[in-house]
Amino acid sequence: MIGEPGLGKSQLLKGLYSIAPKAIYICGSSSSSAGLTVSLNKDSGSNDFSIEPGAVVLASNGACCIDEFDKIPQHHDSLLEVMEQQCVSIAKSGTRCNMQARTSIIAAANFNEGSYCKTKSFNQNTCFNSALLSRFDLIFLLLDKNNKKYDLRLADHLLNIRMNKFNQHQSQYFFVFLHFSW
């Protein structure tokens, strides 16, 4: 999903994460290539190496939901192998390993300048190279079309939902509070 801020991309990812049988949710702005794929760590006492799986390996046979995907363009290349070969290869310090990563990558990102610029191409509006984009089966473009009537109806609907939740759940706690405060 690529879209303008405030359209609910993060909420969609979190919703998917909460209902999927196997999923991992990460925020791209606080992730590294090793955190996404695999890291090789050296034990200071024994000088042995240990391999630590990253999010896409841990989510194998499930989904890895990556929010703020546009904030990590330097790590996009580390996902190319995962998305094409469904594995992660590591070859560092004399250690070689392949780890299975049959993972669906579901990502949410913003446009380069926040909102979509109609005078620019799709590629100019995003920070993704064609190699990465070609590995996604579906790409959803989410645009906020300014429509005052629709926005008012949506705001009214959201407020009604919130008010109904307040009336159903909060009223019980309010009466319990009143009972104990006397």
Tens-digit pLDDT profile for residues 136-163: 999 999 988 888 887 788 788 778 777 7
Q: How many structural domains are present in the chain?
A: 1
Position 114 in a domain: yes
Average pLDDT rounded to a whole number, residues 73-87: 89
Position 10 in a domain: yes
Position 152 in a domain: no
Position 159 in a domain: no
* pLDDT beyond 50 at 5: yes
DSSP strand pairing (141-142 vs 2-3): parallel
Contact yes or no for 35/79 (Cβ under 8 A): no
Q: What is the pTM of this model?
A: 0.78
Position 141 in a domain: yes
| CATH label of the domain that carries residue 128 | 3.40.50.300
Position 58 in a domain: yes
* Whole-number Å distance between alpha carbons of 40 and 166: 49
Say how many residues make up the chain.
182
Position 179 in a domain: no
Q: What is the pLDDT of residue 41?
A: 82
* Domain that residue 77 falls in: 2-145
In the numeric block, which tokens belong to residue 99?
Answer: 């780890």
Q: What is the pLDDT of residue 163?
A: 77
Position 115 in a domain: yes
* pLDDT beyond 70 at 181: no
* Tens digit of each residue's pLDDT (9 = 90 or more) over 16-53: 999 999 999 999 888 888 888 888 887 777 878 888 99
Share of the chain above pLDDT 90, in %: 43
Q: What is the pLDDT of residue 173?
A: 42
Q: What is the pLDDT of residue 171?
A: 42
